[in-house]
Amino acid sequence: MVSVLVTGSNGQLGLTFQDLTLDFPEISFDFKTSEELDITKRGQIAEAFRKGNYNFCINCAAFTNVEVAEKNSEEAFKVNAEGAKNLALVCKEHGVAPIQLSTDYVFDGEKEGAYSAQDIPNPINEYGKSKLKGEEYIQSILPNKHYILRTSWLYSKKHGHNFYKTILKKAQSGKDLHITDAQRGCPTNSEALARFILNEIVLGDKPFGTYHFADGKPMTWYEFAKQILEENGLMKTTKLVLDTNYRTLAKRPKNSVLR
């Protein structure tokens, strides 16, 4: 049986992994919430690894608020970079393979087509910079035994705070939706991502390295909102407005489509 530690198990992706435990009886899961295991504290990680006998560590613990990261980059780097470094160091000590979740925001968005895993990152906001630093720590500490998995526009219809649930809630309450089309990416369902990790990495035989996983076709946020409304039969009752003046504190890549 394969033993897997999942950090940040109270987040959107972590909760999705918990939903799938019965589908993967050949995997022994140990779920740790961010309160139970703070990855910014190496001692806590070491204690958890001493008690467990893990083959893999899926790191779902992350600072994901892009706007707040722009104002508080120190906290974003503490979790996304230093936390990843702590995990990598302890994984190395115990012979565990880390599976690090990363982001499309490590790219600047200037490329015309989709980004491959071999493209050179160039983040334009603090969140992207912190996630890239986490990648670099893992690559340097465990150069031959790690997985970095970049994904984009992650959403769950059941868990967490995400674009899908926000659009649905506003539409159901009768609010008008003002959505931008200035960014293009690939919405990714958290269950599809979790199943890919468990089937292709944990139970599969993929070589160590960096991968991209994006679910569905490329689209803008406006097109994604339209799709959500259509899926839930809300197009006729909701006013969807294209907002050309949408502004954010953090710069966003205009194209973050992952190949």
pLDDT tens readout for residues 177-207? 999 999 999 999 999 999 999 999 999 999 9
Q: What local confidence, expressed as pLDDT, does residue 3 receive?
A: 98
Q: Which residues are catalytic?
A: 127
193 neighbors 154 (Cβ within 8 angstroms): yes
Position 18 confidence tier, pLDDT thresholds 50, 70, 90 = very high
Q: Which of 158, 142, 138 is nearest to 150 (CA)?
A: 138
244 neighbors 221 (Cβ within 8 angstroms): no
Q: What local confidence, expressed as pLDDT, does residue 118 receive?
A: 97
Tell me which amino acid residue 186 is. C
Total-model pTM: 0.96
pLDDT tens readout for residues 53-70? 999 999 999 999 999 999
pLDDT tens readout for residues 109-167? 999 999 999 999 999 999 999 999 999 999 999 999 999 999 999 999 999 999 999 99
Please indicate whether residue 215 or residue 105 has the higher confidence score (pLDDT). 105
pLDDT tens readout for residues 23-36? 999 999 999 999 99
Cα 102 to Cα 45: distance, rounded to the nearest angstrom: 20
